[in-house]
Amino acid sequence: MDLVTQGILGAAVGQAGFQHKLGRKAVLWGAIYGMVPDLDVLVKFSGNPFAEQLYHRGFTHSLFFAPLIAPIVAVVMRKSYKTGDYWSWLWLIFWALITHPLLDVFTHYGTQLLNPLSTYRFSLAAIPVVDLLYSIPLLLAVIVGLIIPKDRLAGTVTSFMLLLTTSYLFYGITCNSAAVDQARQELGITDRIESYPTLFQIHLRRVVVHLPGEVKIGLVSTYPGAKYPIQWFRYRDDLQNNHNFLELSDVRTYLWFCAGDCLIQKDRHSIKLYDLRFGVPGANEPGIWGVESTDGGHHVNLFKAPLSSVYKGNVFSWAYDVMKVSFGKDPRQLLENYHEQ
């Protein structure tokens, strides 16, 4: 999840469970410790172009990180403030840290919950990495909790919102199931089908169907009661003829990163591997990023697809129209208004 949302979640945890014990500083420190696991993004400055893919959401996002760090840091916090007991600080830090990877698991980026015992990337693909419908209500609850003069009442309000937003996460899983079921019904197949959220909201899903020699990508609304047909796009897949490319070390790293959900396209000048988990409605390319080689596989580089023509110069208008689709509008209207030239 994005860094700001992780800070909001940490603040909400601090307010719900510890503001009545530690005062309003529990909200501040909950927000700070809620963002701490994302310090691993600093690996991008290491000089290794694949460092972020390798190490972001690694050990700092492991279930072992919070139990290791919280008891130590709690000692420092207790001595610094001389208010609140040690156990209140310990549990504040613990829950602020551990809710970070637990939230990340609901996105489709992948989180190494068992690092260093395992590098498997857990993902429920329930919500996008930026979801305004999750973040904004939680933020409003925290603000209201800071206004309310009684700390216990503030904690109750925020606890209720945490319950609602957590239910929203699990609702996202049902949206995936609905998208996959509709795809199977329309195509009449039992082949591999994956479903992923798209940016900012939860109902507009991206379904990916792997077929021999091609991949079909569809956009479907899972808004309750919506019965719009899936908008399908077909892409050539050159996977079968490029096994040597798949054996390259950097490509194998990327295959692990994208959980194997990829597409390969080769032309006279380059060979590209697209991460199919992430895409933008209206884009011509099957994914927004991946790896490519322009010298026959001797060097592999990361790439990001140019998407400015999709937004037509106004990303806020595009985001607003995406949100309208999430609340029941036909996805075809979005594609008509925003299609890459």
pLDDT digits (tens, 9 = 90+) for 181-213: 999 999 998 778 999 999 899 999 999 999 988
Three-state DSSP class for 234? Answer: strand
- Looking at the fold, whether 119 and 233 belong to one and the same domain comes out as no
Amino acid at 252: R
- Looking at the fold, whether 194 and 119 belong to one and the same domain comes out as no
Q: What is the pLDDT of residue 268?
A: 82
Spatial contact of 253 and 273, defined as CB atoms under 8 Å apart: no
Calculate mean pLDDT across residues 229-239: 92
**pLDDT over 60 (residue 341):** no
**From CA 168, how far away is CA 152, in angstroms rounded?**
24
**From CA 268, how far away is CA 263, in angstroms rounded?**
17
Q: Is residue 172 part of a domain?
A: no
Q: Is residue 21 part of a domain?
A: yes
Count of structural domains, the chain: 2
Q: What is the pLDDT of residue 340?
A: 65
- Looking at the fold, whether 319 and 245 belong to one and the same domain comes out as yes
Domain stops at, among 102, 123, 144: 123
From residue 289, how far is each of 85, 138, 312 by CA, in Å? Answer: 48, 30, 20
Q: Is residue 200 part of a domain?
A: yes
- Could you read off the pLDDT of 17-31 as tens digits, one per residue? 999 999 999 999 999
Six-digit token string for 43: 């690996």
Q: Is residue 217 part of a domain?
A: yes
From residue 78, how far is each of 6, 100, 132 by CA, in Å? Answer: 24, 23, 35
Parallel/antiparallel/unpaired status of strands 231-236 and 204-211: unpaired
Domain stops at, among 98, 123, 148: 123
Q: Is residue 157 part of a domain?
A: no
- Looking at the fold, whether 95 and 197 belong to one and the same domain comes out as no
Q: Is residue 181 part of a domain?
A: no
Question: For residue 312, what pLDDT band results from cuts at 50, 70 and 90?
Answer: low
- Looking at the fold, whether 8 and 112 belong to one and the same domain comes out as yes
For the chain, how are helix, strand and coil distributed in percent, rounded to 5?
Answer: 50, 15, 35
- Looking at the fold, whether 106 and 25 belong to one and the same domain comes out as yes
- Give the residue among 161, 166, 159 at the shortest CA–CA distance from 140: 161
- Looking at the fold, whether 234 and 316 belong to one and the same domain comes out as yes
Residue 97's domain comprises: 3-123
Calculate mean pLDDT across residues 314-340: 85
Q: Is residue 184 part of a domain?
A: no
Calculate mean pLDDT across residues 100-125: 96
Q: Is residue 164 part of a domain?
A: no
**From CA 112, how far away is CA 2, in angstroms rounded?**
17
Parallel/antiparallel/unpaired status of strands 204-211 and 193-197: antiparallel
Question: For residue 61, what pLDDT band results from cuts at 50, 70 and 90?
Answer: very high
User: What is the per-residue burial (b if ≥16 Cβ within 10 Å, else e) of 130-169?
Assistant: bbbbbbeebbebbeebeebeebeebbebbbebbeebeebb
Calculate mean pLDDT across residues 113-131: 96
Kindly report the average pLDDT of the chain as a whole number.
92
- Looking at the fold, whether 211 and 301 belong to one and the same domain comes out as yes
Question: For residue 313, what pLDDT band results from cuts at 50, 70 and 90?
Answer: low
Whether a cis peptide bond, with omega within 30° of 0, leads into 71 is no
Percent of the chain whose predicted confidence (pLDDT) is above 90:
71
Domain stops at, among 75, 99, 123: 123
